[in-house]
Structure 1
Amino acid sequence: MATIPWYDGEAVARATPMPALIAALQRAFASGDYHAPPRLAADMDGASLLVMPAWKGRERVGTKIVTVDPRARPSIQSTYILSDRASGRPIAAIDGAMLTRRRTAAASVLAASRLARPASATLLAIGTGALNAPIIEAYASAFALKNILVWGRDADKAEAAASAARALGYPAAAIATIEAGLAAADIVTAATLATEPLIAGAALRPGMHIDLIGAFRPDMCEADAESFARARVFVDTHEGAMEEAGDLQQAIAAGAIRADAIEADLAALCSGSHPGRGDDDQAITLFKSVGTAIEDMTAAELVVGDAAP
């Protein structure tokens, strides 16, 4: 078999400009053509191994293999293989870490385009890891942001992330406390490996949108139960969220929210079967994601483009 093409991180970034990637995800979720079973998640002595398959009709199959290790830098590493379903032959191997970062940020902004107020101007980005830069890029592509506030446990890392964003032309600044960010933000996005709540529901203000990206294991948590109790809650996929979303599971266990109170998933938001925020300008909306292989496959197809059969 001929050597299959390898797309490194730079190639992935070039092929997935945020407006195009967000639009591709919207089409994928609305179409119903993509399918993904629950991912395999296994513990590896404090790290996580994730195997995420997906397929599109009888055309293609994709599989991502991911390791998430809080002790490693970067903490998320993975490879994606896209194959032709009819022949079973691999079409491409892709840097899964970059693919994951970009599709994760794009999916959050896809949800925010339905759930956040269109005039949202201040973003609070919690977390200074590898997702920080694509998250800022994605939100800035869809909202006219006047302020981007960056918080991290390490103040030096927060300043470095804000400085990197400013170098790209974004109006970013590091802040000392999450509380200060919550007092000013229209949109709050969290991408951390936290196991204790960072966001206090009591501090949320009417009209805010909360985007929770971390807490993909039952022992993880980015927002407390009151955050869920005060918000209209949406998820990327019902099945994934109910199986893996730590802060959502903890809020349900605490009695702050019932599982049947989740209003919609991304497919419903993208197809138009749920209106999203609608005219409710004062609602607090909350989007909880754990990631789905549908997003990976959509991004991989954008990377490969016309190079694949």
Structure 2
Amino acid sequence: MQSLDMPAIQAAARKLEEGALVALPTETVYGLGADAENPEAVAKIYAAKGRPANHPVIVHLAPGADIGYWAIAIPAEARKLIDTFWPGPLTLILKRAPHIPDAVSGGQDSVGLRCPSHPVAQALLREFKSGKGGVAAPSANKFGHVSPTTAQHVRDEFGTDEDSPLACILEGGQSEVGIESTILDLSRMASHGPVLLRPGHISAAQIEHVIGMHPRMPDAAAPRASGTLEAHYAPSTPVALVPPEELADTMKRLSNAGRRFAVILRTQPAAAAIAQIAMPQSPDGYAHDLYAALRAMDAAAADVILVESLPAEDEWQGVNDRLRRAAHDSQGILSRLLS
């Protein structure tokens, strides 16, 4: 990692303290940050993203921050997970302290908290309010779009001219993890136990190993959380998930029908595709490259992006979750293109 640009980080911290928006790198994706205790600043996030007002954001904290300032009734399980996985890609949903504005929780009585491991994010959080503040930071993209994993992705999304809603964009290289954090609800431990609201880099099995309980799947009364709508993380081009054994035939039929297609795959090359990307074989490598691949294939101006379906094992859960949501609004696209 290159040395930190502390003047830029310090300037960004002052912008946050003034109520402006700052894009910052994290190990998961780039975030669109605002002072979590300033409802007017948080409202700028919602306006810039076009985000529904009842869709909560995650508050990012500096290492060693006082969790008790942000949350109440903190269960022992939360402390164990913090000791094990923070800083890192795990968000905990806890009961929100009464003095924390509900702007960050979409009006709910809970709050999502995370401590990122990216050195630029940590430096910014330590500078912001002398390390005692929190930065609300959903992904730095328009609501529902593919999340950014580089500073250039953020510039592509929001521009850099005077009309951009961002005061600045901090550079931090490509995000190491590449998909958003695991979100675990611990706000209802007595009645529901731990509930996995969004899978990510940290798996349910890893969580169980630490707290001795396997997280449940979300129920109807579970708190709303970032990135959990059925349609999310989607490029402009329709996305279709295709089993490996059907991929060659699907491409042949699309080619015969005169359709333009791009392909994200793990096996054989696609001769007739107008653009294609071969992805890593490991879940971590695939997650790292996923959003950049979706953005690159979106730029190919194809009729559809074919994605070779992935294994169903637990370690692929986070990536499969993102692809399922990216393809949700494109259901039936292949039938329409081939009819």
TM-score (norm 2): 0.24
Larger Rg: 2
Higher strand residue share: 1
TM-score (ref. length: structure 1)? 0.26
